[in-house]
Amino acid sequence: MGRKNKYSKELKLSIVKRYLEGEGSTIFLAKEINTAANIVSSWVKKYNAFGESAFDISH
């Protein structure tokens, strides 16, 4: 059984889109949600590879 995602798909998309629109660095955005910058970076990479479906349960 997999672990439950700590962050919702909607939050991940919001953070990624803000990053891509230049609203903040991965460090800045990560601090807003109390996580590490490498987590935000991994979300950006997944989004770039798979689009919004990157954050569906199957990925």
* Residue 2 domain flag: no
Output the pLDDT for position 3: 56
Average pLDDT over residues 48-57: 92
* Residue 40 domain flag: yes
- CA–CA dist 32, 36 (Å, integer): 10
Summarize pLDDT for 14-39 with one digit per residue, the tens: 999 999 999 999 999 999 999 999 99
Domain, as residue range, for 25: 9-55
* Residue 42 domain flag: yes
Please give the helix or strand (H or E) that residue 59 lies within, else none: none
> For the chain, what is the domain count?
1
The string over 3-30, giving b where at least 16 C-beta atoms fall within 10 Å of a residue's C-beta and e elsewhere, is: eeeeeeeeebbebbeebeeeeeebeebb
Q: Say what the pTM is.
A: 0.87
* Residue 50 domain flag: yes
